[in-house]
Structures are given as C-alpha cells and as structure tokens.
Amino acid sequence: MPIKDSLKKKKIDALDFKTHLALLGVPLLLLFICWIIFFSISANQSSVANLLLISIIYLFGYSLNYYFHQGRLSRLWEHLQQVVHVNETTFELVNIANQYQDETAFLNALLNKAVSCIDGAEMGTIIRVEPDSGSLSFESAVGIDINKLRKLNIHLEQSFEYRITKGKCDRVVVIDDMEAINAHSSLSSSDQDVLLEAPSIPIRSTLSSPIHIDGKLYAMLNLDSGKVKAFSHYDRNLVAILTHEAANAISLYQKTHKINTLANFDSLTGLYNRQRFEALAKEWTLKAHFGSYLVLIDIDNLKTINDHHGHQAGDAALQKVSRVLKAQWHQKQLVARYGGDEFIALCHGPLERIESEIIAIEDDLSEQGAVSFSYGVEQYNGQWNKTLKAADEAMYRNKRGKK
C-alpha cells in the first residue's frame, strides 16, 4: 500500500506560514513606501536623496528574495545529502543481510540506522503487526527499555497511527503533543505508565511511519524525541523515503533468508541438509586432545511406520528424532539429516561422552514412542570419504546385530 505524503506530488519541502507572510507582506510594504516616495518626489521635485532611497529599497527587496532563494537551495542540497545517506544505509543493510542471525537482529540494525538518519530523532521503536489478529509486538528499540515495552498487550486499533489515519495506516504522522494523545488513549493507566517509564527521557514528539510489504501492514517505525515539535514537514518526507527503502530492504532480507533456508536446511526437520553439512565438515576444527568422531544414525523401523500408519506418521518420527538430536547436540556439534531415514553428526570427543550421549538419545526416543535407530561411530581425522565409509559399515553391523 503506498504511503500518502507530499513526495507523491514531487514536493520535498514546503514554506511555513511565517515565510509566506514575509514573502507577501514585504513586497507590499515596499510598494507602499515607493508609492509614498513617488508622490513626495512629485511634490518636492526630484532629488538625488529620493532616488537613492528608492534604490536602497529595491536592493533590500532583491536581497530578501536572494536570501530566501539561497535558503531553499541549501535545504534542497541538505535533502539530497540525507536521501543519499538513506539510500546508502539501506543498500548497506541489504548487502550484509545474510550476516544477521534472524529478522529481529536485522530490524535492530535498521532502527539504529533510522535514528541516525533523522536529526531530531533521539529514540525509536519498530512495532510488528500480527496480520491476522492485529496485535502489536515491540521488536526493536533504541533509547527505550524494550523489556518493559514487551509486557504491554496492545492492539493495532489502540495505536495513534491507526487513530489519526482513521484505520488506514497509509501515511506518516507527526505527534507534537504526546500528553494530549495519551489522554484520549484507550490503554489502561498501568499500560500508559509503562509507556512513560520505558524511555530514557520523556517523549514529547513522535514521528510514526507504517511499513507495508506486499500490500500488507508489516510494522510501524516510530522515531521519538524529548523535544517539543522536534520533527518538521521535511522530516516527515524524509522518513517516507526511509520507510519505502526499509520495506524493500526487509522484503529482500526475508526472501534472501528464505532462499538461504531452502538451500541449507532440510525443510521437514530443520536440520542442515547434506550439502550444507559436507561444506561445514570441511571447515571442522580438529582437536587432538579430544578427538573428533563421525556418527551415522539410521532409523530402524521407518518403512514399517510408513506402511502401517502412513507417511505423515513417518514424517512425525523423523521430526521426533531431529528434535532429540537438536536438544542433545545442535548447539555444540554439527548435525544434519543426511537423506531419507539417515542422520549424521560430527562431534568432538572424548568417545566415552559421545557414546553416553547416544544412549541418552535412545532413552529419550523410547520414552516418546516406538522409534529406534542403529548407529555407527568412527574417528574423524580429516579423511572424509574413508571415515564416512567406515561409519556406514559400523552402522550396518549394529543393525544386523539387532536382527
């Protein structure tokens, strides 16, 4: 959904009422003075002094117009510099999107950049909107205690962005009197107290801009200040540009993250897939004093489960094994679904600890249901193919022993 603002009218700045009054009133005043002087000259005959006075008035009027013209050029140049800064900021975020662990970390970086881009901004938040329920959640904060904010239970209809735009949430809004806005809020007194206590300094001005992705309201970017009337019409337009670029950056991050997930993770279990595991295995650090071991796991009865209970039950069994493996190994070892009913792990020793952890995995699975597995363990010294073959043979010996 497009955001309504003066940028759509190809206007990046506007004169305030005082400037309009000066531009209109001063020329009229000069004309009035010239009219008086003209009649004075007619009455007293022309004189050098009167002509000089007219010249001075003309130069004053010209200087005034030149001053306003140069001021406009300076503001336009400042606008251009800040737009370039906004574009560089979002371009940088897009290029390093893969370095962020999750979307929240990405939004933290985005908010910090936004606060630095707008001169009047001292604090800020990004508030996510749940598309189905309309509930709000604080995802990121600068200069505000986000832990306090996350205790709030706020709905979209209670936000001032929603109230001011009459539910459209289609434009940037500026709040210059937060006390008056809060006085008409439907929030409870305790929630309002939290909003007052969370910022490092009292918020007196807020600039809020909706972020739309694929036509849906994704979040709201709020920039706050402890000063009254900290944000101008110009800041509103600049934030509209920033919000548009931020929406593109977030959308691209989400798509990049989705592609990365599809390329590196197994869609059913959430573990690494075979290609990603083998790539990371090449970077595995060998620790001589602990040793490294390759563990190959094969579910014993997956075919029986599929035949008797259907493939959904088989998928549930695979997910059950993956959850137990994640709980036991995922944070400190390298674990993946190697294909079909096989899982693989690369672990640091000692061997006794690995074997005890395998026993714990077996016990955990037996408590959850009739899912068992066979496994093979082989020491890994960097020779991938040789170690994999030996672990596979050990796993099949274990399976034949059970039969």
* CATH code reported for the domain at 101-261: 3.30.450.40
pLDDT tens-digit map of 286-334: 888 889 999 999 998 888 888 888 888 889 989 999 999 998 887 778 9
Q: Quote the CA–CA distance of 232 and 238 in Å, as a whole number.
A: 10
Q: Which amino acid, one-letter code, is at 325?
A: L
Q: What is the DSSP code string of 170-235?
A: -B-EEES-HHHHHHT--S-HHHHHHHHHSBSS---EEEEEEEEETTEEEEEEEEEESSTT---HHH
pLDDT tens-digit map of 228-285: 889 887 788 888 888 887 888 888 888 888 888 889 999 999 999 999 999 999 999 8
Q: Confirm if 90 and 82 have CB atoms less than 8 A apart.
A: no
Give me the sign of the Cα torsion angle 224, 226, 232, 235. negative
Q: Which has the higher per-residue pLDDT, 64 or 257?
A: 257
Fold for 274-402, please state it: Alpha-Beta Plaits (3.30.70)
- What tokens appear for 387 in the block? 């170690």
Query: Residue 37 has what pLDDT?
Result: 64
- What tokens appear for 99 in the block? 């370095």
Q: Quote the CA–CA distance of 160 and 208 in Å, as a whole number.
A: 9
Average pLDDT over residues 386-391: 94
3-state secondary structure (DSSP) of residue 172: coil
Q: Quote the CA–CA distance of 350 and 54 in Å, as a whole number.
A: 99
The residues spanned by each domain of the chain are 8-93, 101-261, 274-402
> What pTM was estimated for this model as a whole?
0.63
Angle at 111 between CA 106 and CA 116, to 5 degrees: 130
Share of residues in the chain with pLDDT > 90 (%): 36
Q: Which has the higher per-residue pLDDT, 249 or 51?
A: 249
Q: Which residues, in sequence order, are bridge partners of residue 272?
A: 265, 336
Q: Which residues does 114 contact at the CB level (< 8 Å), separation at least 6? A: 121, 124, 221, 223, 239, 242, 246
Helix (H) or strand (E) run with residue 235 in it = helix 233-264
Task: Quote the DSSP letter at residue 99.
Answer: G
> What CA dihedral angle connects 100, 260, 93 and 284, to 10 degrees?
50
- What tokens appear for 162 in the block? 């929603």
